[in-house]
Structure 1
Amino acid sequence: MDMAGKLLQQLLLGVIILAATAVSIANSTCDRECGNIKIPYPFGTSEGCYLDKPFLITCNHTFDPPKPFLDHDIPVENISVPNGELRVSNPVAHLCREFNKAHQSPCGKPQDPVNFNCISRVDYTRISALLNLSSFRISETRNKITSVGCNVYTYIQGSEGQKGFTTGCLSLCDENLNVVSGSCSGIGCCQTSIPEGAMGYILNVGSLNNDTLPGGKEFGGQSCGYGFIVDEQAYNFSSLDFVNLKNRSSVPLVLDWAIGNKTCKDAKKNKESYACKANHSYCYNSTSSPGYRCNCSEGYQGNPYFSDGPESCQDIDECMGLRKPCNANATCTNTDGNYTCTCPKGYEGDGRKDGTDCRPIVLGQSNNKIISIALGVSISLLVLLVGTSWVYWGLKKRKLVKLKEQWFKQNGGLMLQQRLHNCTGSMDTAKIYSVEELKKATDNYDKSKILGQGGYGTVYKGVLPNNKVVAIKKSKISDQSQIEQFINEVIVLTQINHQNVVKLLGCCLETEIPLLVYEFISNGTLYDYIHDTSRSFLLSWDKRLKIATETAGALAYLHCEASMPIIHRDVKTANILLDDNHTAKVSDFGASRLIPLDQAHLTTLVQGTHGYLDPEYYRTSHLTEKSDVYSFGVVLAELLTGKKVICFLRPESERNLATYFVSMVEQDRLLEILDDHIYDGSNAEELKKVADVVKRSLSVKGDDRPTMKEVAVELDGLRIKER
């Protein structure tokens, strides 16, 4: 090579070294800690040190030590690059009561008998929790909505600008505080999942019976109820939390983060913006949010978002680790991304503890003998492999058949077949489907086939071989003690033949969770029509009265004309389906109960939907037909006003639609709360009559409510007069 060539080579080498040094210096100038918290790239605290705006962390130096914040006001506790998680501090909501001594009338001395005429003022302090994220999502797999206290509920709604959702849970206990530490199953503490994709929320804590204070059961004698969303792994409930949480302002919350909103395949098309910079790294799509994440390849560790330098993905020296990977006799040699183990002389094998180890070599055998043995072993292994595979698949198929038979018996299949055989006409209307039929009908329960999800199961849209469209429900019945009751309900529902009740076509009992097959109703729920501004105008007063009359008739049929009275127990607008002609169809009997003809009520664990739940049923656990009447009264109020049954964005006196509606009717102010789409100036008298039905249906005492049959007759009479 001539002098000019050598000079050019040295110049290029110098440029490469200089460029590498520049990158290293650029990385080294960035502060990767804020106080005691590490801030790994793609996050950063200053310009040029983070990937893009969502990854900016504000380091507030007014604290000692300094504290990092996301979106300027959300405290950061930890950032994990391998897991794509960000742990932050999340506020705790409170509802606290205290006696105001300045407004207390003379109530006697402490040793005096209790004076029930004594009056003291009780002040309430409510602190709500609010979170708004600009880019990252709350992890629905790591976090739980949690409510702590006695007879309190925690209720969250999607915050302004975020995806709409409403959910929560109810925590119950009495004055004996019969709570169990470590258990968050509904007694003193309850937990429920947070909706997928949430980026913000408004969280409130409420009390079920604050009208009994002071001296009532609220909070079990404690002063506060609490609500928060917390990393499930970071919170273990204790009965001491009734007091200790009052002094706690925040709990850990896990956020999922990812790069951009593209998949790995699309992101790789632009090498400049592609974030997985390290040579020994790979990309994987985020399953919890749009975008992708990077990780170091197997055998490497570090930060995959750096292209080079000591922070990038570096080889792991397995030979230097505490876990010695090679046999004691073997020599370990580290390689790039891997390692090798070399057996000493006189031994054979790969030398690895997880491999063939090191074995002494047997000398004195001829090559032909070794070849013959190897050939014989190979043929034997091949025959063994084929035979084993045949036996394995045969046993697996047989096990699957036995498992299906076991589930069929476990879920009451034999009992159902016997009952269907004994019921005249049932065999024509109810069918027992195979698991293969329903898998094929739903494309193996593809997520795109989901019609809805609720507390009692998930509903899929399916197409049977005869092209009939059906709704297939995966029930949440798994308690063996409920199987006979489940079978009774299936039998009764197959015999219901009412035009305003969704028809049960059959079931499948070959799966661990029983499947129910219903007729498919195409036009959505009454809830969607009332509360969707783009569709609510389609429901004129005539149509609303028709839907109300049909629903009342269906419930009256269940109470009075079915072979055994059925209480629906979850009457709400979300369980009233509408077909193309806006004909009402009552659905979702997951919570329903059969009432024996010789009983007036059932004592059950309280179930239902907050806002629709009968207060008398809640207090006594006695389920009667009047419980459905109360829930239907709330549905009527919803039809008349167009308002949601519970809304924390309304003033406190208006949050519960049932109590607000009764109050306005008693004040003769009905016209002020009617939906704009139903009042035309000429139907005021008719609306007042329906409002009177609502008022009587919402009576606190069940005995003061009309029967469902009486409600249906009154509404039908109004429709006849209207025509």
Structure 2
Amino acid sequence: MILQLPFLVIIMLITLPIYPLAYSAHELIIAKPGCSSICGGVEIYYPFGMKDPKCYVDKWFEIECRETSEGQKPYLKSLNLEVRVLGMHEVYIMNPIFHWNCPSRRAKPEVINLRGSPFVYSQDANKFMAIGCNNLAFLQSNGSNVACCVSICDDSEEVNDNFNLVREGSCSGRYCCETSLPKYLLEYNATLQDFNTQNNNTVSEPCSYALIVHGQVTSDFNNMDHVPAILEWKILDNTLHNSTLQLLSESDYVTCNRSNFTSSQTTGWRCDCLEGFYGNPYLAGGCTALPGYNNSQTKKWAIVGVSSSVGSIIFLLGLWLLYKDVRKRVIEKGKQKFFKKNGGLLLQQRISSNEANLDKAILFSLDDLEKATDHFNMNRVVGKGGQGTVYKGMLVDGTIVAVKKFKVEGNVEEFINEFVILSQINNRNVVRLLGCCLETEIPLLVYEFIPNGNLFEYLHDQNKELLPMTWDMCLRIATEIAGAMFYLHSVASKPIYHRDIKSTNILLDEKYRAKIADFGTSRVISIEATHLTTVVQGTFGYLDPEYFHTSQFTEKSDVYSFGVVLAELLTGQKPISSVRSGEFKSLASYFVECVEEDNLLDIVDKRIVKEAEKREIIAVANLANRCLELNGKKRPTMKEITFELEEIHRLVRKCNAEKNEDEFELARVEDYHPWDGYSTSKSWDSKLFNL
């Protein structure tokens, strides 16, 4: 009996992180003494509070309890937003819906502006959603489009039937579309563009909606003005009194950290109860020990017991080793479970049968990648998007890598097959896949690390101190991208269509060489494949119009996307811009129009116009124009594009070499023959013109 009791305590400690206990609110200190802590059934946790200013930390955290026809409801007074739930570092609010073609609803609600506040829309918990027929939905912030999605309806479908798709959780482009939010969204506006209106069609589409929402909405939007959303919060600098912060920081049960909060570099504080404690860390004495946790009194008892005899020390040591062993077994069992679930055994079979090269495809352990990324520290994040988060890491041998967390959708065997094929790609202008880790619920991919960011940042981010783009660099990057795509389409063992070629997926290494990345939407094509897809995938501004209308993706769809990138390189303009009006918001349409009307040099980047010969610019522009043909059959192949760009680049380098040689010869003449009394400007200018 004596041996069993401590063992049960150990088992409780082992299972505690896996099966957390629930505690009722009356056991917690949630508000300051004398302050109201409930409004309409919602518990009001400090630093939030009501009525008396001493009950909340500052004006941003003031809660107003309002009387409504449905009873009392709490509101964030400063933002006039209804609160459904208050949590540690999160607030569940009711967010307004934007309506279009809804006679009984106001189209544009008052835009919420969180600038200067301690709140920000949660990127992980929320999403931007649009519901309606044949719409382009844009999420705008600070005057720019930051996200968009497309929703399509068949002419024969009923709107009421389509709405069932939203209630059933299907939002993939048919009547309903969704996309992730940008980081640090503080204020936004939403607009919808109707396809029928763009095509001069007067058919009136039914009521449409745009919204930022948490979770899936299951009610009729015609009867709603608000939907649930989540705001994250921190306490801004100088809000908590210094003595209060010192008191909280010195507590045995509380930890407070200061970090950047928004893109404006505003800093704030977050406090949490230490492991083994729960409650409100912003109040003195607000953190309470979990039942069974080794609090200070238990530690004192343990010290007295251990000091009583050497035998007790050996006994406790044995229990600790037993706990460590059991815990290790639980962790290893979980890793094995995820390894099998994610197709690890199938991948091992492929590797052993020489379908994948061990030198190129490595099965990393979770421990290795946790050490490499400092346990996936947020300070190691180098990129975050709809498909996952990328961390910078360093392996034990000193190799710098990029570790990507993403969610595999579909059959595990398809993922393994794609991994095996990508591991065999051998092209210097394709980001090399080093291996994967299957010991987590969400598989991890490991790539070579590319240090100089992506081409989009290089072309459009004027704040970064980067090597200036030259005409030779422009041609070299274009040629490298084209060569890599030619390899994927025609040289690889099986053709690979990338399906999302864009400047953000083109990375630049330490020598500013281009490397194609992000094969999350790529497909390996067999000879019998029809390339017909059920859901149109891609990025607005780069998407092939022919693929958009037919849902049939071909190699020429990648060619169209490359044409947009080539136009970006020539003009230095973004693929979608609100500065351009009407149909010319798309760079592709604007570029084709300028080429056809002989206004090309008006939109080409001034640095390129100054440096390059006019015939060289026209040659590359004509190639981009052919890539942007609306009829895919008229577009060139990537092989033809690669050869043409290589020839143009070769002639440019030859011309530059001849110029340098002539300048060298001229310098030699200057050294030995004075120029006094002679004029050579006419003959020298003529020679330059003929190059």
TM-score relative to the length of structure 1: 0.67
| Cα shift at 1:519 | 1.6
Task: Determine which structure has the larger helix proportion and give its number.
Answer: 2
Bigger relative contact order (CA 8 A; separation at least 6): 2
Distance in 1, Cα, partners of 2:468 & 2:243: 45
| Cα shift at 1:660 | 2.0
Alignment deviations for residues 630-675 of structure 1 (CA, whole Å, 9 cap, x no partner): 1111111111222221233542333222222222222222222222
Distance in 2, Cα, partners of 1:542 & 1:691: 15
| Cα shift at 1:604 | 5.0
Whether 2:539 is the aligned partner of 1:609: answer yes
Rate the CA distance shift 1:656–1:79 in 2: closer, same or farther, 3 A. Answer: same
Out of 465, 473, 482, the position equivalent to 1:543 is: 473
Aligned to 1:185: 170
Distance in 2, Cα, partners of 1:424 & 1:610: 36
- CA contact 2:506–2:515 (8 Å) conserved in 1: yes
SS in 2 for 1:679: helix
Superposition pairs for residues 310-459 of structure 1, below 5 Å?
A: 393-423=324-354, 426-459=357-390
Superposition pairs for residues 163-174 of structure 1, below 5 Å?
A: 166-174=146-154
- CA contact 1:531–1:643 (8 Å) conserved in 2: yes
| Cα shift at 1:383 | 11
Aligned to 1:361: none
Distance in 1, Cα, partners of 2:382 & 2:505: 13
SS in 1 for 2:445: strand
Whether 2:97 is the aligned partner of 1:92: answer yes
Distance in 1, Cα, partners of 2:532 & 2:557: 11
Distance in 2, Cα, partners of 1:264 & 1:49: 13
Q: Which structure has the larger Rg?
A: 1
Rate the CA distance shift 1:80–1:398 in 2: closer, same or farther, 3 A. Answer: closer
Whether 2:413 is the aligned partner of 1:465: answer no
| Cα shift at 1:575 | 0.9
Rate the CA distance shift 1:94–1:689 in 2: closer, same or farther, 3 A. Answer: farther
- Name stretches of at least 5 consecutive residues in structure 2 with no aligned partner: 1-33, 67-72, 262-267, 292-311, 654-691
Rate the CA distance shift 1:441–1:84 in 2: closer, same or farther, 3 A. Answer: closer
- CA contact 1:158–1:201 (8 Å) conserved in 2: yes
Rate the CA distance shift 1:712–1:304 in 2: closer, same or farther, 3 A. Answer: closer
Aligned to 2:616: 686
Distance in 1, Cα, partners of 2:45 & 2:233: 14
- Give the paired residue count: 579
Distance in 2, Cα, partners of 1:197 & 1:520: 25
Out of 217, 230, 236, the position equivalent to 2:217 is: 236
| Cα shift at 1:129 | 7.1
Alignment deviations for residues 522-560 of structure 1 (CA, whole Å, 9 cap, x no partner): 111111101111457711222111101110010011100
Out of 139, 143, 148, the position equivalent to 2:131 is: 148
| Cα shift at 1:517 | 2.0
Between 177-186 and 696-705, report the one with greater CA deviation.
Answer: 177-186
Alignment deviations for residues 399-449 of structure 1 (CA, whole Å, 9 cap, x no partner): 443443343333333332333333388233332222222222222222222
Out of 63, 72, 80, the position equivalent to 1:75 is: 80
Whether 2:573 is the aligned partner of 1:643: answer yes
| Cα shift at 1:151 | 3.3
Aligned to 1:198: 185
The amino acid of 2:142's aligned partner reads S
Aligned to 2:120: 138
- CA contact 1:84–1:293 (8 Å) conserved in 2: no
Give the alignment's Cα RMSD to 1 decimal.
5.0
Alignment deviations for residues 122-163 of structure 1 (CA, whole Å, 9 cap, x no partner): xxx985974322313234166442211123343323326xxx
Between 533-542 and 443-452, report the one with greater CA deviation.
Answer: 533-542
The amino acid of 1:149's aligned partner reads G
Whether 2:244 is the aligned partner of 1:268: answer yes
Aligned to 1:580: 510
Whether 2:495 is the aligned partner of 1:512: answer no
- CA contact 1:75–1:89 (8 Å) conserved in 2: no
The amino acid of 1:151's aligned partner reads N
Rate the CA distance shift 1:223–1:508 in 2: closer, same or farther, 3 A. Answer: same
Out of 403, 417, 428, the position equivalent to 1:488 is: 417
Out of 617, 639, 645, the position equivalent to 1:709 is: 639
Whether 2:565 is the aligned partner of 1:589: answer no
Distance in 1, Cα, partners of 2:568 & 2:243: 48
| Cα shift at 1:711 | 1.4
- CA contact 1:572–1:612 (8 Å) conserved in 2: yes
- CA contact 2:48–2:63 (8 Å) conserved in 1: no
Superposition pairs for residues 623-702 of structure 1, below 5 Å?
A: 623-680=553-610, 683-702=613-632
Rate the CA distance shift 1:701–1:210 in 2: closer, same or farther, 3 A. Answer: farther
Alignment deviations for residues 431-468 of structure 1 (CA, whole Å, 9 cap, x no partner): 22222222222222222222212233222222122111
- CA contact 1:459–1:473 (8 Å) conserved in 2: yes
The amino acid of 2:428's aligned partner reads Q
The amino acid of 1:197's aligned partner reads Y
Superposition pairs for residues 11-26 of structure 1, below 5 Å?
A: none
- CA contact 2:364–2:435 (8 Å) conserved in 1: yes
| Cα shift at 1:172 | 3.9
Distance in 2, Cα, partners of 1:666 & 1:128: 42
Whether 2:405 is the aligned partner of 1:474: answer yes
Aligned to 1:530: 459
